[in-house]
Amino acid sequence: MICITLPDGSERRYEQPVSVQQVAVDIGPGLAKAALAARVDQRLVDLQYVLDRDARLSLITARDEDGLEILRHSCAHLLAMAVKELYPTAQVTIGPVIENGFYYDFAYERPFTPEDLETIEKRMHELATTDYPISRRELPRDQAITYFETLGEHYKAKLIGEIPAGETLSLYRQGDFEDLCRGPHVPGTGRLQAFKLTKVAGAYWRGDAKNAALQRIYGTCWASTKELKAYLTRLEEAGKRDHRKLGAQLDLFHFEDTAPGSVFWHPKGWTLFQNLLGYMRKRQDEAGYVEINTPDVMDRSLWETSGHWFNYRENMFTTTTEDERIFALKPMNCPGAVALFARGLKSYRELPLRMAEFGKVHRYEPSGALHGLLRVRHFTQDDAHIFCTLQQMREECTRTIELVFAIYRDFGFNDVSVKLSTRPESRIGSDETWDLLEGALYGALKRLGIDYRLNPGEGAFYGPKLEFVLRDAIGRDWQCGTLQVDLNLPERFDVHYIDEQGERQRPVMLHRALFGSLERFIGILIEQYSGDFPLWLTPQQAVVLNISEGQSDYAHKVVKALKGAGLRASADLRNEKIGYKIREHTLQKVPYLLVIGEKEKENATVAVRTRRGEALGTMPLETLLERLQLEARLPCAASEAATC
């Protein structure tokens, strides 16, 4: 008898081998209809997979995370099938699942146009309606190479040629189209209904600009039409909030080819940047941090000691001086912080020592990966390195996690998830050390009652880490802050502290960033607020608009009073109609527009409008100052509101 154990612990027994599909039918017709694939003893398989021994079985539907990925992968094959039918000379290359969708790269003699995408998508829907069954077969590697060469699919043959000889490969067929794939796939094309092609872009074979140019068609696929429409609505809203467009509209920053991946901050953008720095300095001061600063350029030997030279070299900018010394622009702040800690002996009484640094770091990112403020080569990290004892490690992890959540709440991010990334294959340090460090993070999360997602093997080469993921106002996720626990760098740099018995002990080093990159966090904030920043953060808090030249002197007095109250304000005294000036500054998203005419001048008042077009009426200048000062205070988490 073959015993199949289901997720609820119940068992089903069969006298002979049975397919996953048949087990689903036995459980119930509803589940059989909804099932897309299955997990057998942790292995993902198709519904046609035959169970010939005892196993644990979990059926996968479109509501499962794995199910959505299978839908998207199957949709990539549907895209390739449609392209091959419409453009037979096109060659298929690779078509992976990506966040919220999929893409497929094609080699074709001319660029695909938006009209082509419409035609391809229409054909995809026709193929889905036909509901071609999807079947799997296996071929030895060399036979698979010959097969795809015969079809004229030379890129696919090259891919297979990179697989070790003797391997058996799986192929999936739907109608007359067959593609190399490890699977699994949905049982038929009819399961693919809620999808849309979104754009076409350039790409290179194997992602290398030295190779042949390809065309990449992107698409999205969802479990239902309702979810697809919701995603497309989010996509449309994201386009309106694009930080690159808003950055230009609000005159915050720009980029140039003379410094690819580096930001040119305009006065308003730099004010926004400094506002964030001021906020974080206040937060860190209250949490017991001291601020430091370390050099941007350091000798190669430091990076060899830290391990970055051997694990991160391809992402580092380096230079060689006339005396043949090799230096590197720092890609991370950690080694500088260790060097500073190592200066002079430290006592256990000085620990925990929380050293914060707004350090400029430089990382070589491929040109194709650069994306406005969200992916740059030169950026500022709100780094901190906490040196503590083993006994203090879990408490410091707990304090840091609490600070992270409190800060995100201040910016309106109340939906925060946590990923715990554990030891990677390429790492430094013993398994015993990694057990200790991972245990500290597990323990802190458990103590705070915070759920987390485990990412096995995704830790840094020197220690495990927590990643904090924010969900923004339109439902997108952003990975921002990190917390890493490290005993390896203190060991590599041989740093110590003196304990109660006068003995040398190795400190634990916590690496912590809350915003992550200030540049990236500003890009996220621009899109989170759609440029409508809260008053404390916005670069310009108020602008004074005169109706005629006769109110110029009074306008200057109002601006002086606003600045004297600690507010950021200016006057627009141009000889333009007041309606024009109001529209212009509304588009600039200035929170408060203060209009003054002769009546306001005589009564020492201002007529107040908001950027949303609300008329708040006329009020005495002193009343306005009190209101704006209260609103412009730095935020604090709800739990600290009474004392902030």
Pick out the residues of the known binding site for Zn(2+). Answer: 334, 385, 511
Return all residues near 445 (Cβ < 8 A) that are at least 6 apart.
401, 418, 420, 452, 466
Q: Whole-angstrom Cα distance, residue 323 to residue 538?
A: 48
Angular region, 131: left φ>0, alpha ψ -120 to 50, beta rest: left
Between helix 225-241 and helix 518-529 the angle, nearest 10°, is: 110
| Strands 37-40 and 18-19, sheet pairing | unpaired
Residues known to be catalytic: 334, 363, 381, 383, 385, 465, 511
b/e burial code for range 529-542 (CB count within 10 A of at least 16 → b):
bbbebebebbbbbb
> How many CA within 13 A on the CB side of residue 341?
34
Question: What are residue 72's phi and psi, to 5 degrees?
Answer: -70, -40
What DSSP element (H or E) covers 283?
A: helix 267-286
How far is the CA of 206 from the CAs of 156, 158, 442, 461, 533, in angstroms? 12, 11, 38, 26, 41
Inter-residue contact 220 to 78 (CB < 8 Å): no
* Residue closest to 350 by CA, chosen among 495, 472, 234: 495
Cis peptide before 635 (omega within 30 of 0): no
CB 271 within 8 A of CB 568: yes
3-state secondary structure 316-354: CCEEECCCCCEEEECCCCHHHHHHHHCCCCCEHHHCCEE
Q: Which residues are annotated as a binding site?
A: 334, 385, 511
Tell me the residue ranges of DSSP E strands in 262-306. 264-265, 290-291, 297-299
155-190 b/e (C-beta count within 10 Å ≥ 16 → b): bbbebbeeeeeeeebebbbbeebbbbbebbbbbbbe
User: Taking the CB of residue 57, how many other CB atoms lie within 10 A of it?
Assistant: 20
SS3 206: helix
The most distant pair of C-alpha atoms in the chain lies apart, rounded to whole Å, by 98
